[in-house]
Amino acid sequence: MYWFEKYKPELELIFAQAKTYINRYPPSLKEHGFRYIEAYNPLNETSTKNYICYLLPYWTQEATGITTEQCRQLSLAEVFIMLYLFLQDDVMDTRPAQIKEPLALSSLFYNTALSLYRQLFPSESPFWNAFDQCTAEWAEGVTQEGYANYFLTNPFHITLKAAPIKLAFEGAVYLGGRIHIQDVLSHEVNNALIALQMVDDYYDWEEDMAEGNYNSLLAWITYKLDLSSFEELTAATVRQSIFTLGHFDGFAQFALLLHHAPTVASELHDFQHLLIQVLVEEANRIQRQKELLFEGGFTHFLSIL
């Protein structure tokens, strides 16, 4: 994972600087802010590893031509915009009893992100159009989730909740003056986000089913079983689809198709490759297990003849 290991010193600087901003928050929210950022710090072993949130400016640096200092500034801004969105998502999904503190903290995260972006982009910069677009996509993603089965018709829609991640490369494109690669890079980032969501959905399908969240794997299985809606699925039918009927293999092959797109950012491409390999290797593991079970059953059958 050189696309991560080589940037550890940069991440140490960024998260240390992020903590200096949180240290300026009101005392009643400061400790909560510190705990929250540590839960998403990729340098902590037990943290949630959202690599793309903070490393996208670095992965696209060669393509966009921005400086290392500009990478740091964009990454730092992304830290706060993503902490804001993670907190918003937590509130929407879990509806905690103590809702005032997370909402107040998320507002501070958002304001910090805005102040960091303002240091990089003047008010007339086209970056702010991208900011508005990403915010609108995020809003669509969190409100439309569960109302449409869009994975098969428009896979891009499963990434809408992560749309603000794209502010990192959008900002880099404008800072580096490389507008001509914007569309190709946007397509590449979208494909990486689709692959990331597919991996998450494989590991989280049981939780998503219990909570009624949209899940691309469940959407795929609903289609393969020719069902009209997620409500017709049970945990047993999903497991049968994955481990007996072989439908997970098609899901992995769908992800593999994403990797054939043109690339202008090799480390982003490598990150996407890792995600797809997780799905492909899991599909292969499931197939090997089925073959071993079949061979064992056949051997047992022969032994009793």
Instruction: Give the DSSP per-residue string, the chain.
Output: -HHHHTTHHHHHHHHHHHHHHHTTS-HHHHHHHHHHHHHT-TTSTTS---HHHHHHHHHTHHHHT--HHHHHHHHHHHHHHHHHHHHHHHHHHH--S--HHHHHHHHHHHHHHHHHHHHHS-TTSTHHHHHHHHHHHHHHHHHHTTT---TTT-GGGGGGGGGGGGHHHHHHHHHHT-GGGHHHHHHHHHHHHHHHHHHHHHHHHHHHHHHT---HHHHHHHHHTT-SSGGG--HHHHHHHHHTS-HHHHHHHHHHHGGGS--S-HHHHHHHHHHHHHHHHHHHHHHHHHHHHHHHHHHHHHHT-
Amino acid at 272: Q
Nearby residues of 143 by Cβ (< 8 Å), 6 or more positions away: none
Judge whether 287 and 246 are in contact, CB under 8 Å. Answer: yes
> What are the tokens at 206?
């049981």
Domain 2-303, CATH number (from 3.30.470.20, 1.10.600.10, 1.10.3720.10, 2.40.30.10): 1.10.600.10
Greater pLDDT, 232 or 112? 112
CA distance 182 to 268: 14
265: left (phi over 0), alpha (psi -120 to 50) or beta: beta
Nearby residues of 116 by Cβ (< 8 Å), 6 or more positions away: 73, 76, 77, 80
Length of the chain: 305
Nearby residues of 275 by Cβ (< 8 Å), 6 or more positions away: 192, 195, 196, 198, 199, 255
Q: What is the pLDDT of residue 302?
A: 42
Residue 300 has pLDDT above 60, yes or no: no
Q: What is the pLDDT of residue 9?
A: 96
b vs e for 225-241, b when ≥16 Cβ sit within 10 Å of the residue's Cβ? eeeeebeebeeeebeeb
Q: What is the pLDDT of residue 150?
A: 82
Please give the mean pLDDT across all residues of the chain: 90
Q: What is the pLDDT of residue 147?
A: 62
Q: What is the pTM of this model?
A: 0.89
Residue 47 has pLDDT above 90, yes or no: no
247-283 residue pLDDT tens: 999 999 999 888 777 789 999 999 999 999 999 999 9
Amino acid at 16: A
Q: What is the pLDDT of residue 146?
A: 61
92-121 residue pLDDT tens: 766 666 778 888 999 999 999 999 999 999
